[in-house]
Amino acid sequence: MCSGSGLILGIESSCDETAAAVVHTGVEVLANVVASQMALHAKYGGVVPELASREHLRNIVPVVRAAMAEAGLEFADLDAIAVTEGPGLAGALLVGITYAKALALGLGKPLIAVNHLEGHIHAVLMEARQRQEAMEMPMLALVVSGGHTHLYLAEKPDVPGGGEGRTTEILSEAQNDELKGSGHGVWRYRNVGRTVDDAAGEAFDKVAKLLGLGYPGGPWMDALAKKGNPRAVEFKFGQIKTRRVPRNENPTHDGETVMNGAPNPTLSAEDAERMGHPIPPKQNLDGAPDSEVSFDFSFSGIKTAVLRYIQGHGMGAGVEARRKVLAEALRANPAMKAAEALQEMPEVFDAQTLDLIASFQHAVVGNLMRQTFAAAEALGARGIVVSGGVSANSELRRRFADEAAQRGLRVAFPTMAMSTDNAAMIAAAAWGKFCAGEFAAEGLVATPQLKLGS
């Protein structure tokens, strides 16, 4: 053991969930409490930052108390307090950070700052540890949520017996003792891809809104896509080339993105599905050395394409009728899910709309797959982790699993409860930092644009 009780209290308040959890040695979840504000923001069709901060303020104390009670612990039992430092909404992050700082100071316990995106990755790693599964290194992580679409190459460098293709994660107590203070547990991340405009979840939400569906749109689209024809409408993704300016030469500017607006016939949704032609990095990235390759995403074009399709096919009146009917039904039953709506009012979901939804989802998932597997191949990743809210998508899970099996790669997803925002993932990500003695400075502040890795 690294020392102490192994118990870390995690606190998460970066967006619209106030969450607290107690996790033992980054593996066992003793308590996991999430107060969701979804219903509050649903009527505005998106998260309202001022309301989110106020709600966090109201919830933070009862949520932490509930987590401690659920774990059956006193504050004195804890080794450390971990909190999300960013990225996220400034006011929302501030509530969690201020409370965590005060708690740590009052208790005389260390405070650990965690990047929210690292938390999403550790949600999967924590569950792999629970199943006693080792993840193979290097690992490629796709973090795909309402605010983020990022690809990271992740490694834990100082595992004993390290080297190409080693596995990690499950260490004996002796190994843990040996590694204490040596930097063990501090993962390294290289950001090898990111969205240049909208996040994938944001595209799901915006398209759902264009179609008059409920909020958040992802789960609605997922359920309705099952009833449509994914090949009815062909969406294409334009090619994106990103050249990175090496950081040490120009630290204020980390890249220049060149959008090639012309649809590239090799990048149709169907090709994405076949996955037969991953991008050879050296050809497509202008001969950039491996350390500078990137695999970027863009989702604003497909959102516009859906809007044009709706306008061009006279679907506007149908959308407005559906918006009205669903708004009324959601007022009566705010927790209503798409499956229920489909069953109770099938007439609201015409075949053309269902086909459009299925085709949109098919194209987005195909694009996420194409970039992820191309990056995995180019960078020699031996395992893939997909996390964040969109990783709950059923088509995404099925197609990623099939493709990974064909390529002999391991792919891991979080359970549904761990795919959306929670604090167990924050406490789990903090464990390695605790072992390494990587504590936050007293002056820790919220960092809304916090980056992960290099």
Residues that bind ligand KG4 (CB under 6 A): 15, 145-147, 201, 204-205, 216-219, 222, 388-390, 392-393, 420-421
- Restricting to residues 99-158, which ones interact with Zn ion according to CB under 5 A? 145
**What contacts 1, CB < 8 A, 6 or more positions away?**
25, 173, 176, 177
Q: Among ligand KG4, Zn ion, none, what binds residue 125 when CB lies within 5 to 8 Å by partner kind?
A: none
Choose between 7 and 92: whose C-beta lies nearer to ligand KG4: 92
Tokens of 309: 């399709």
Instruction: Tell the smallest beta-carbon distance from residue 114 to Zn ion (Å).
Output: 12
Q: Among Zn ion, ligand KG4, none, what binds residue 205 when CB lies within 5 to 8 Å by partner kind?
A: ligand KG4
- 151: closest CA among 159, 160, 141, 166? 141
CA dihedral 364, 421, 394, 129 (to 10 degrees): 120
421 binds Zn ion (CB under 5 A): yes
Instruction: Tell the smallest beta-carbon distance from residue 62 to Zn ion (Å).
Output: 22
Q: Among Zn ion, ligand KG4, none, what binds residue 392 when CB lies within 5 to 8 Å by partner kind?
A: ligand KG4
Choose between 211 and 452: whose C-beta lies nearer to Zn ion: 452
Instruction: Tell the smallest beta-carbon distance from residue 249 to ligand KG4 (Å).
Output: 32
Instruction: Tell the smallest beta-carbon distance from residue 423 to Zn ion (Å).
Output: 11
Distance CA(116)–CA(24), nearest Å, equals 19
Distance CA(275)–CA(372), nearest Å, equals 11
Choose between 42 and 259: whose C-beta lies nearer to Zn ion: 42
Distance CA(43)–CA(306), nearest Å, equals 23
CA dihedral 429, 432, 436, 441 (to 10 degrees): 10
205 binds Zn ion (CB under 5 A): no
Instruction: Tell the smallest beta-carbon distance from residue 200 to ligand KG4 (Å).
Output: 7
Distance CA(176)–CA(159), nearest Å, equals 10
Residues paired with 17 in a beta bridge: 36
Strand 256-268 versus strand 236-243 pairing type: antiparallel
Instruction: Tell the smallest beta-carbon distance from residue 365 to ligand KG4 (Å).
Output: 9
Q: Among Zn ion, ligand KG4, none, what binds residue 390 when CB lies within 5 to 8 Å by partner kind?
A: ligand KG4
Q: Are 63 and 17 in contact (CB under 8 A)?
A: no
Choose between 240 and 424: whose C-beta lies nearer to Zn ion: 424
Distance CA(261)–CA(158), nearest Å, equals 43
Choose between 26 and 388: whose C-beta lies nearer to ligand KG4: 388
Instruction: Tell the smallest beta-carbon distance from residue 302 to Zn ion (Å).
Output: 22
Q: Among Zn ion, ligand KG4, none, what binds residue 218 when CB lies within 5 to 8 Å by partner kind?
A: ligand KG4
- 219: closest CA among 51, 35, 361, 14? 361
Residues 287-306, mask of contacts with Zn ion (x by CB under 5 A): --------------------
Tokens of 218: 């992802």
The dihedrals phi and psi of 7, each to the nearest 5 degrees, come to -100, 125
Choose between 296 and 421: whose C-beta lies nearer to ligand KG4: 421
Q: Are 242 and 255 in contact (CB under 8 A)?
A: yes
What residues make contact with Zn ion under the rule CB under 5 A?
Answer: 145, 421
